[in-house]
Amino acid sequence: MKRKYFIIGLSLLALSSCGKIIEDSNEIVTGMKPVYLNTEDYDQISQQSPTAFERVGKIYKTGSYIFVSDKGKGIHVIDNSDPFNPQKITFITIPGNLDMATRSSYLYADNISDLVTINLSDPLNISVEDRIYDVYPETNFFDYPESYNGPFECVDDTKGIVIDWEEATLTNPKCSR
Amino acid sequence: MKNLYTILILATVLITSCTKNETATPLSRDIGNGKAGSTAKMITVDNHLYAINDKELKVFNLDNPQSPSLVNTVNVGFGIETIFPFAHYLFIGSTNGLYVYDISNPTTPTLTTQEQVQHITACDPVVANSNYAYVTLNSNRLNCGSIDNVNLLITYDISDINNIVEMSNIDVEIPKGLALEGDRLYVCSGNNGIVIFDLSETPETPIQTGNIGGFTANDIILDNGVMMVVCEDGLRQFDYTNPDNITLMSLMDL
ipTM value for the complex = 0.88
C-alpha–C-alpha distance, residues B153 and B138, integer Å = 9
What band does A22 get if pLDDT is binned at 50, 70 and 90? very low
- CA neighbours within 13 Å on the CB side: how many for B192? 17
Which of A47, A54, A62, A143 would best serve as a mutation to test chain B binding (most B beta carbons within 10 A)? A62
Say whether A68 and B235 touch across the interface (CB within 8 A): yes
Q: Which of A100, A138, A144 sits opposite B53 (nearest CB)?
A: A138
Q: Torsions phi, psi of B231, nearest 5? A: -120, 165
Whether residue B33 lies within 8 A of chain A, CB to CB, comes out as yes
* pLDDT tens-digit series, residues A80-134: 999 999 999 999 999 999 999 999 999 999 999 999 999 999 999 999 999 999 9
How confident is the prediction for chain A on average, in pLDDT? 86
Say whether A124 and B221 touch across the interface (CB within 8 A): no
Among chain A residues, the shortest Cα distance to B228 is held by A59
B171 with B194: CB under 8 angstroms?
no
Classify each residue of B127-139 as buried b or exposed e, where b means 16 or more C-beta atoms within 10 Å of its C-beta: bbbeebbbbbbbb
Say whether B53 and A62 touch across the interface (CB within 8 A): no
C-alpha–C-alpha distance, residues A58 and A46, integer Å = 20
B95 with B112: CB under 8 angstroms?
no
User: What single string gives the DSSP state of each residue in A25-87?
Assistant: ---EEEEEEEEEE-GGGTT--EEES----SSEEEEEEETTEEEEEETTTEEEEEE-SSTTS-E
The CA distance from B180 to the nearest CA of chain A, in Å, is 16
Of the candidates A73, A55, A75, the residue with the CA atom closest to the CA atom of residue A65: A75
Please name the helix (run of DSSP H) or strand (run of DSSP E) that holds residue B94, with its range, or none: strand B89-94
Contacts of A102 in chain B (CB under 8 A): 27, 31, 33-34, 44
Strands B175-181 and A114-119: unpaired
Based on its alpha-carbon atoms, the radius of gyration of chain A, rounded to whole angstroms, reads 24
The CA distance from A33 to the nearest CA of chain B, in Å, is 18
Neighbours of B6 (CB within 10 A): 10
Q: Looking at per-residue confidence, does B211 or B25 come out higher?
A: B211
Whether residue B39 lies within 8 A of chain A, CB to CB, comes out as yes
A170 with A153: CB under 8 angstroms?
yes
Which pLDDT belongs to residue A21?
45
Among chain A residues, the shortest Cα distance to B37 is held by A59
C-alpha–C-alpha distance, residues B240 and B230, integer Å = 16
> In the predicted model, is pLDDT for residue B225 greater than 90?
yes
Contacts of B70 in chain A (CB under 8 A): 132, 135
A132 with A146: CB under 8 angstroms?
no
The CA distance from B67 to the nearest CA of chain A, in Å, is 6
What's the N-to-C CA distance of chain A in angstroms?
46
Determine if residue A122 is left, alpha or beta; phi over 0 gives left, psi from -120 to 50 gives alpha, anything else beta: beta
Top mean-pLDDT range of B2-6, B13-17, B102-106, B158-162: B102-106
Whether residue B70 lies within 8 A of chain A, CB to CB, comes out as yes
Whether residue B247 lies within 8 A of chain A, CB to CB, comes out as no
DSSP annotation of A153:
P
Q: Which of residues 156-185 of B touch A (CB under 8 A)?
A: none
- Cβ-proximal residues to B160 (8 Å cutoff; 6+ apart), any chain: none
C-alpha–C-alpha distance, residues B239 and A133, integer Å = 41
Q: Which of A66, A117, A129 sits opposite B235 (nearest CB)?
A: A66
Instruction: State pTM to two decimals.
Output: 0.85
> In the predicted model, is pLDDT for residue A6 greater than 90?
no
A117 with A128: CB under 8 angstroms?
yes
Contacts of B67 in chain A (CB under 8 A): 117, 129-130
> In the predicted model, is pLDDT for residue A58 greater than 70?
yes
C-alpha–C-alpha distance, residues B36 and B49, integer Å = 12
Query: Helix or strand or coil: residue A119?
Result: strand
DSSP annotation of B31:
G
Q: Which of A60, A102, A117 sits opposite B67 (nearest CB)?
A: A117
C-alpha–C-alpha distance, residues B33 and B48, integer Å = 10
